[in-house]
Structure 1
Amino acid sequence: MRTVYVNGDYLPENEATVSIFDRGFLFADGIYEVTTVVDGKLIGFDGHIKRLQRSADELKMNIKVDEPEMLEIHRELVKRNNLDQGMIYLQYTRGNPGDRDFAFPPEDTKPTLVMFTQEKKVVGTAVEENGLKVVTLEDLRWGRRDIKTVQLLYPSLAKMEAKARGADDAWMVQDGFVTEGTSNNAYIVKDGTIITRHLSNDILHGITRKSILACAQLLQMKVEERPFTVDEAYAADEAFATSASGFANPIVEIDGKKVGSGKPGEVSAKLRELYIEENMKAAV
C-alpha cells in the first residue's frame, strides 16, 4: 500500500482524507505539478516548483512554496514507496473555508497540500518503438492554459474521444491551428525544422518543452516557435509530443493519416536520448 502526503502527514493511502468543503473539490480551485522519477531521482524538479509558484501567483493563491521543504517531501515519498520509475503528483488548493462560497475565503485560510506517487515505466517504453496515434479536436478549454490548474475535464473528455476513435490521444485545435495535446506540448518536423507553438496563454509552458528545445539547440537543430495548422501536421515529416512522463513521444498518425513514414522519426529519438542524458546529470 502506498504512503501518501496530506497536509504535513505521511499516511497509508486508505487513511488519507480531504474535507468535502475543500475548494479543489467544489470549484477545481487548485493547481498541480507532476515530477518524473527515474532511478529514484527527480527530473526537472526546480522547474516544476517554480511553475507551481507562478500558477499560485496567477490565481492569487496565498501560497509561498518552500522549495527545500518540497524537495524533502518528494524525496521522502520516493523513499517510503521504494519508487524507481514513475511520478510524484502534487496538488495545492485554496483550502477548506468551512462552507461553499464563490468568493475566495479569508487570506489566512490554510491551503491543502497533497502528494502521492505513481509507478510507471518512463524509460524503455513501447511508445518509443511504436509511437502514438492522435486525433484533432476543437480546443474548448478556458483561456488561461498557461496556469496548471486541476480543471482537466475537457482534456479528459478529449482523451476518451480519441480512444473511441481508436487513437491514443488528441491534439486540440483553435482557429485551425494546433494548440497542444491533452497533457503534452505538440511539435512537427518539416525539412529538418522543428515547429512548435510559441509560449502564450494558449498553452502550458512545459518544463519538458523548455528542456527539449535546449537539447535541440545543443544538437544544432533549427526551431521555429509559431502556430502550425492541422494541414501542416498532416504533411509533416515527423511529429512528437513532450511531457514530464513521456519526454519526447513520437506521433506516427494524425486523424488516420500516417505522419511521414508512419514510424517514429529520428529527430524525436535523438531529442529523447539527449534529454534523458542531460536531465539525469541534474536529477536530485
Structure 2
Amino acid sequence: MLITRFAPSPTGPLHLGHAFSAMLAHDMARAANGSFLLRIDDLDQSRSRLEWEAQIYHDLTWLGLSWPVPVLHQSTRLPRYRETLEILWTQGLLYPCSCSRSDIRAAASAPQEGAPLHGPDGVIYPGTCRPASPPKGPLPQEAALRLDMVRACEMLDKPLEYREKGETIAPQNLPATVGDVVLARRDMGASYHLSVVLDDADQQITHVIRGQDLQDATQIHVLLQRLLGLPTPAYHHHRLIRDEHGKRLAKRDDARAIATYRAEGASPQDIRKLVGL
C-alpha cells in the first residue's frame, strides 16, 4: 500500500508552501487507495508550541485533509533515536563535536582552506573534532555527535540509489560534498537526518513527498538507510511555492499563512488554485 506523510514543525503558522506539500501527499495517497499520515516534528522543544500544533490540525482539516490518529510526535521517539545512535557509535561511525557554528565558519574560511564549501547542512564541516580513530567508551550523553563520513562510506559495497529519476549516488564523493553531518544535537537528542530516516522506516512510508530544498539531503538519508538496513522509499521533490520576488516562503511570512487566507474569506479550492493544484 502506498503511504505518504506530512511532518510539519509546530513552530509557526503553516503557509501556502506547506499547503501545497500536504495536499500533494494527501492527493497521491488517496488516488492510490493508500494512506496519508500526519507526523509532528517537535524535537525542538524550545520553539514548539501547543497552539501552533492545534493550528496545524485546524488548517489541514479546513483544507479537506484527513489522517489516522493518534498522530506520531517525534518528541516521544527519543529512546528509539538513542538506541540507533548506540549502534552507530559501536560501529565506530560517530564522534563528539564541540564546535559552534561560528567555529565551523571560521575554520572553513581560514586562508589555507580557501572559500568554504557548502553542502546540505550549510558550510561543510572542516573536521576540527574528527578523531584519527573511533572514540572508545560509552556513547557520550548531552553531546553533539557527527557521522564520520569517510568511515561510513567505506562500509558500503555499492553505489547508493533511490527512486525519483533513477538517481545514483557515488559514496566516494560524500566526504567532500556533504561532510560529517550532525546526527545528534545537544539540545534535541537527534538531528533531522536521523529522526526522519527512522520515523519514515518505522511508519512504513513508501513515498516521501517534500520540497526541492530538501533534495540535497536525500543522499544523507539514503546513506543512513543503507547503514542501518532500512528500506529506501521513493522520493518526489516538488517545486517550491515562492513570493512575487521569487523568494521561498518562510513561516515568518504571515501574509501567506493559511489562516490569513481563511480569515479573509478564501476557500480550500482557492488555496488549491493559488498553489497550482
Normalised TM-score (structure 1): 0.27
Normalised TM-score (structure 2): 0.28
Query: 1 or 2, which has the higher helix percentage?
Result: 2
The structure, 1 or 2, with the larger RCO (C-alpha pairs under 8 Å, 6+ apart) is 2
Query: 1 or 2, which has the higher strand percentage?
Result: 1
